[in-house]
Copies of this chain bind each other. A is one copy, B any other.
Amino acid sequence: MMRPEILLFGDSITQQSFRPGGWGAALADSYSRKVSLFLTVNANQEMLADVKVRGYGGYNTRWALFLLQHLFPLDSKKPPAAATIFFGANDAAVLGRTGERQHVPVEEYKENLRKIVLHLKECSPTILIVLITPPPVDEDGRNEFAQSLYGKDASGLPERTNEVTGVYAKKCIELAEEMGLRSINLWSAMQETEGWQKKFLSDGLHLTPEGNAVVHQQVVKVFSEAWLSAAEMPYDFPHHSEIDGKNPEKAFQQRCM
């Protein structure tokens, strides 16, 4: 019995994904008790399932590279079956403004993402990788947020702009196409909805519960289009209604072998 382990690697939008309404928790719920028939392993081996969050608030891809060897050692006996890689919101911080320290040039962003992908593929050659672009930026929302923090000292110039972040999103999708990976263009997808600025973003950058729902739906969709469809995966053990109260052994003999 194989439970696919799903890794979520990213920045604060991944780190916060287990807060109420978060997309990571929703994903864990979608795949709860689900097992994969496509992965064959020694049936006696313990197979961890589950959604594993590795979200690092404020991190860009340059800093994420320092974590790779620690988080995903090449000799791991249980590498993830699937992963989302969700960076760029910090890389796209604009030079010369308050988030400058986090800025990574867009070409380097792309190459760093490539290194992350190659490392995960080295850990786990059959891994299903989904690249997610940063969400769009609501510059008014960022300014309001900065003023709530710094009052009059806020510079008035947003440290991230929607246009610049869009350039990073494009590079992310470009890399996915080059490497034959699946991807989610969150930057574009969210902007298709009227009022996305407040509907999907809480402070111009992070996700509202509705924004989290978009990510959840998109990840479930892309996983399903690959081989990781929660709807098609069987449950690990019988549903309680299938258990005969007087002869419970029977249900477990059929399903636990």
A residues bordering B, Cβ < 8 Å?
A: 1, 15-16, 18-22, 24-26, 28-29, 32-33, 44, 46, 48-50, 52-53, 55-59, 62-63, 66-67, 70, 72-73, 75-78, 90, 100-103, 209, 236-237, 239-241, 243, 245, 248-249, 252, 256
CB distance from A213 to the nearest CB of B (A): 9
With A63-B243, A248-B63, A256-B66 already in contact, the answer to whether A26 and B20 are too (CB < 8 A) is yes
Q: Check if A53 sits within 8 Å of B50, measured CB to CB.
A: yes
Instruction: State in angstroms the CA–CA spacing of A236 and B19 once bound together.
Output: 19
A101 — nearest CB in chain B belongs to which residue?
B245
B248 with A46: CB separation less than 8 A: no
Cα(A236)–Cα(B66), bound, Å? 12
Which of A22, A102, A249 has the most CB atoms of chain B within a 10 A radius of its CB?
A: A22
* Residues of chain B within 8 A of A24, CB atoms compared: 25, 28
- Closest CB-CB distance, A13 to chain B, in whole Å? 13
Q: In the complex, what residue of chain B is closest to A45 when comparing beta carbons?
A: B73
- Cβ of A66 and Cβ of B28 under 8 Å apart? no
CB distance from A77 to the nearest CB of B (A): 8
A70 with B29, Cβ < 8 A, contacts A20-B20, A59-B240, A240-B63 known: no
Tell whether, in the assembled complex, residue B21 and residue A20 are in contact, meaning their CB atoms are under 8 Å apart: yes
In the complex the two chains form, is B100's CB within 8 Å of A245's CB? yes
Q: Are B18 and A56 in contact (CB under 8 A)?
A: no
A20 and B208 alpha carbons, distance in the complex (Å): 13
Residue on B with the closest CB to A212? B20
A91 to chain B, nearest CB (A): 12
A67 neighbours in B (Cβ, 8 Å):
237, 256
- Chain B residues contacting A256 (CB-CB under 8 Å) are 66-67, 70
Among residues of B, the one whose C-beta sits closest to the C-beta of A245 is: B101
